[in-house]
Structure 1
Amino acid sequence: MAHGDSALIESGLQVLKRYASQGETLSYGDLNRELGEPFNLGAHLPGQIGKLCDDITTAHSSATGLKLMISVLVRDEDTGLPGDGFFTLAATLGHLAPTDDADVKRAFVKQQERRVFMVFRPAKASTSGFARNH
């Protein structure tokens, strides 16, 4: 793992699971704050958090065997997309061919986001009108 801090990776994974269960995304700064600000604010924050996100995705995929990128939830505030490292990792993992096409990247992000939400969002209670007798 590029980052190497297994406790920070696990903490980050728990934050992402919580956001996923709520059907929400977060910014790089949000993730840094959620983790107690282990990274210095500034121009290098997205890169530092991005490396951590790569490690989180890799650790989660290895542990679960799921071919989804949980770090899709962490977005750049300006673009609304994950950073370039996310797409590089997606290509490395064989999930997405290397591309500079913004539409292809947006479609991949939407697909990954749907998959993450499907796995982590709680099932809704039945609204069929047929309740069990107690």
Structure 2
Amino acid sequence: MPHLGLVTMVVRDYDEAIAFYVDALGFELREDTRVDDGKRWVVVAPPGSTETAVLLARASDAGQEARVGDQTGGRVGWFLNTDAFERDYARMRAAGVVFEETPRQEAYGTVAVFRDLYGNRWDLIQLHHDGAG
């Protein structure tokens, strides 16, 4: 059955992006392979994630550089699911992740919007166990 394998995140710098995703968000560095002309194939993913991961792709021209931090036009573009919201929220805040709001309860679960190091908006979310929403 098909599944989503990778999503691309355009970044300014490989190493600063790796540091943020690994140190602040707690992702695992799955691959960091030099390709050519200074390009690298860099893949990060939340621990235990088996299907979808993030490909960190350094901007290679002015058009791509302009999209860094605004890849979804200001909308929340990524949803980081957790099974322990308070733990992950506290860990991420301690690591310097900027949250736009305090956690809130919605019909589907607990959620708070945060920004990555470039300003892209994410939801940290813990869905209700009953699958509501």
TM-score (norm 2): 0.25
Question: Which structure is richer in relative contact order (CA contacts within 8 A, separation 6 or more)?
Answer: 1
The structure with the larger Rg is 1
Which of the two has greater strand per residue?
A: 2
TM-score (norm 1): 0.25
